[in-house]
Chain A
Amino acid sequence: MARTVLIVDDHPSFRSSARMLLESEGFDVIGEAEDGAGALTAVAELHPQLVLLDVQLPDMDGFQVAARLTANGNCPLVILVSSRGIEDIGPLAARSGALGFIPKAELSGEALEALLP
């Protein structure tokens, strides 16, 4: 059964491209959110298995959203994405409770699977 995914990013072009890419690689994209508050609401409603979370959001940063999403036991897996490089984001991603980090330009089903348990 395909993994369910929520894409959180404030750029529609990225959400659209990421949805097409992940769906073509066997993931089930069940929702999109454009900011942190929207992400928290969507997770509560849709219960995705995986959240693809942009680091830079208009209302709060992706690290804060990741920390709140992973604060309790029954939480989705969170993978942070950014157009910045891993050298800027990597150490912070580990501390936020996220599973890992993928630069946006390198996003693929294979990259995701490599991080998933």
Chain B
Amino acid sequence: MSPFRRALLGLAAAGVGFGLLDATLTATSDFILLPGLWVAMTLWLGWGFIGVGLFAWARRPDNRVGALMAATGFAWFLGALGFSDTPLLFTVGQMLGSVFFVAGVHLLLAFPTGRLRSSFDRRLVTVGYLLTTIGVLPLWLFAEPRDLGCDNCPHNVFLIQANSSVVDVYGLLINVVALVIIVVVAVSLVRRWRDATEAERRFVVPVYAAGVALMVAVFVSIGVQTTGTGDTVAEIAFIAALIPFGLVPWLFLATLVRSRMIQGGAVGQLIARLGEAPPRGEMREALSRALRDPSLELLYWIPDDRRYVDARGHAVDLPDPGTGRTVSPVEREGRPVAAIVHDASLLEDPELVRTAGAAAALALENERLDAELRAKVEELRESRARMLRAGLEDRRALERNLHDGAQQRLVSMALNLRLARSKLRDDPVAAEVLIDGAGSELDEALAELRELARGIHPAVLTERGLAPALATLAGRAPLPVEVIGDPGADLSEAQELAAYFVVSEALTNVAKYAHASQAVVNLGRENGRLVVEVADDGVGGADPKRGTGLQGLADRLAAVDGRLEVDSPQGRGTTVRARIPCG
């Protein structure tokens, strides 16, 4: 048995012992009017909260609701010591008799996660605990129960001097503060009910009931304190008011059982529906009904891209923690298939979501294939638009380069030649200098035109093939580049061109950004695909999402059903890898 389970059993034993002690003290009390009723109420309420609380705690150790519920039960037993005839137990019990109210408020506000949601809630609960422990201490320095109408009560062990005026004023003050807290809690609960999602409401029904019960109990408690403990009617009224509060753990338990039964049935219906082979696209509806979450969404895993898409194939981000939405992945034979995005309150029963997901895995796999196809179509559409834009941009860049480069040089050359002609007779030396200058401009213009032509289409590729073209690229690079491997001879012109531009762009990036000392171009075949890899020993940190160069390459590769991978850890070089289907 785990230490956690042992600890829970220890707490259960302590709860049983504490309850029996309280029952004995209550049954033998000299000052309460209805000992039998109080014994029954004490045990029913204390053991109810502790028993259900420990059960819930064992079932969901990460959720604090169970612990808070058990703590409320122990706080109740602590207050019940106030029925004792022993002065010390009587005084401590009476003094701490309202702590269980605050524990109950804590439980309500922390429902259903077990954690208080806001700093305001934390402050409210802290004030409550302080008020019902340290806050009531001054009262018990001046309160003598016998002077306040309880003739058979033991004496107050903390008494310094009996003073009924101080007790009345201080008691009234505490009651007013307690009423304010109760009103604030009630308003907060109403707001939460109003804002709750449909899935959440299933779990907050007992919480709401508890809130009403607690308010009634507090009001009656205040009435009893005002009229004195000797009033049988007030005592019965107080006990009656505690009954709904005592129902809280049982309501909670009933909700859990009911929800499991209903949802278990719904999962059964889901499985039956799956047996009828529902049309594709109806899984969201079926799962939404099974899990009773109208906001449920389905996402499908695209293994090639390692991301989720929606049913239309659009990439989507998973919800962040704290948004009230959460994700339960669905796997089939160990592979991710889909993800159910649902209301976070469904995690109260994670097994249910897993069961429904597992039941739907096969149908979801079929829908996943549809979504994958749509994602591909979407990707192609985007890629086509990007290539169109890139084509226009290339043409603009080409026009700019021609205009700023070769065209300017030719203009300058034309002017210089005209000037040279005018000087040919009078100043032949100057004319010679001008003609030399024109010759240099012509050489530069030719070099620029060659470079531009190569950018449009590398002639060496058409004339001599991919391997010599890549060797030429490597030779022109401003750093040592080794070309390894053989691309093979069964590639189409489009495939060769894609491979060539991968190497060309990658080597340009190496020269511009990588600060590398060398690079290696590796060519090979893998599963019927040409794999072109350019690796450098530079600074790494290349991000394919930034800049248009790598994205343009990915689009160019996509046009021949190829894929681009970039591996560029910071400080450890960059590897750009293209996989191009052959044949």
Q: Is B517 an interface residue (CB 8 A)?
A: no
Across-interface contacts of B410 in A (CB, < 8 A) = 105
Given contacts A17-B412, A104-B411, A105-B410, contact A11 B404 (CB under 8 A): yes
Per-position 1/0 for B480-518, Cβ under 8 A of A? 000000000000000000000000000000000000000
Contact B407 A17 (CB under 8 A): no
> Which segment, of A18-26, A34-42, A43-51, A63-71, faces chain B?
A18-26
For A72, what are the chain B residues with a Cβ–Cβ distance below 8 Å?
none
Q: Once the chains are docked, how many angstroms separate the CA of A105 from the CA of B409?
A: 10
User: Are A17 and B415 closer than 8 Å at their CB atoms?
Assistant: yes
Whether A24 lies near B415 (C-beta < 8 A) is no
Cα-based distance from A24 to B441 in the complex (angstroms): 21
B423→A14 contact, CB < 8 A = no
A108–B418 CB distance below 8 A: yes
B227 CB-CB contact with A under 8 Å: no
| Total A-B Cβ pairs within 8 A | 44
Question: Number of A interface residues, CB 8 Å?
Answer: 17
In the bound assembly, the distance between CA atoms of A104 and B412 in angstroms comes to 8
On chain B, the residues within 8 Å of A20 by CB distance are 415-416, 419, 434
Minimal Cβ-Cβ distance residue in B for A84: B403
Contact B423 A17, beta carbon cutoff 8 Å: no
CB-defined contacts of A104 to chain B, threshold 8 Å: 411, 414-415
Q: Determine whether the beta carbon of A83 is less than 8 Å from that of B419.
A: no
A13 and B418 in contact (CB under 8 A), knowing A24-B423, A56-B403, A83-B403?
no
Q: Are A83 and B409 in contact (CB under 8 A)?
A: no
**Residue A107 is within 8 A (CB to CB) of chain B in the complex:** yes
> How far does the alpha carbon of A13 sit from the alpha carbon of B407 in the complex, in Å?
11
Indicate the size class of the contact surface on chain B. 10 to 19
B418 and A14 contact, CB distance less than 8 A:
no
Q: Are A18 and B415 in contact (CB under 8 A)?
A: yes
* Residue from A14, A25, A108 in contact with B412 in the complex, judged by beta carbons closer than 8 Å: A14
Chain A residues lying within 8 Å of B418, measured Cβ to Cβ, are 21, 108
The answer to whether A17 touches B409 (Cβ under 8 A) is: no
Q: Is chain A's interface secondary structure helix, strand, loop, or mixed overall?
A: helix
Contacts of B412 in A (CB 8 A): 11, 13-14, 16-17
CB closest residue in chain B, given A11:
B408
Please judge, given known A-B contacts A83-B403, A83-B411, A105-B414, whether A13 and B419 are in contact too, CB under 8 Å: no
By a CB distance below 8 angstroms, the chain B residues around A13 are 408-409, 412, 441
**B422 part of interface (Cβ distance < 8 Å):** yes
Question: A74 CA to B422 CA in the complex, in Å?
Answer: 35
- Contact (Cβ within 8 A) B416 A17: yes
List of A residues within 8 angstroms of B403 by Cβ:
56, 83-84
A25 to B422, CA, bound (A): 9
Whether A14 pairs with B422 at a CB distance below 8 angstroms is: no
Question: From residue 396 to 427 of chain B, which have CB atoms closer than 8 A to chain A?
Answer: 403-404, 407-412, 414-416, 418-419, 422-423
Beyond A56-B403, A83-B403, whether A14 also contacts B419 by CB under 8 A is no
Min CB distance, B57 to chain A, in Å? 73
Chain B CB within 10 Å — which of A17, A18, A83 has the most? Answer: A17
A109 to chain B, nearest CB (A): 10
CB-nearest residue of chain A to B444: A13
> With A13-B441, A83-B403, A105-B414 as given contacts, are A21 and B419 in contact (CB-CB < 8 Å)?
yes
Query: Contacts A16-B412, A21-B419 given; 7 further ones with Cβ under 8 A?
Result: A11-B408, A13-B409, A17-B416, A24-B422, A24-B423, A83-B403, A83-B411
- 10 examples of A-B residue contacts, CB within 8 angstroms: A11-B408, A13-B408, A13-B412, A17-B416, A20-B434, A21-B418, A56-B403, A83-B403, A104-B414, A105-B410
Interface residues of A (CB under 8 A from B): 11, 13-14, 16-18, 20-21, 24-25, 56, 83-84, 104-105, 107-108
The 3 closest A-B CB pairs, nearest first, are A17-B415, A105-B414, A104-B411
Chain B residues with a Cβ under 8 A of chain A? 403-404, 407-412, 414-416, 418-419, 422-423, 434, 441
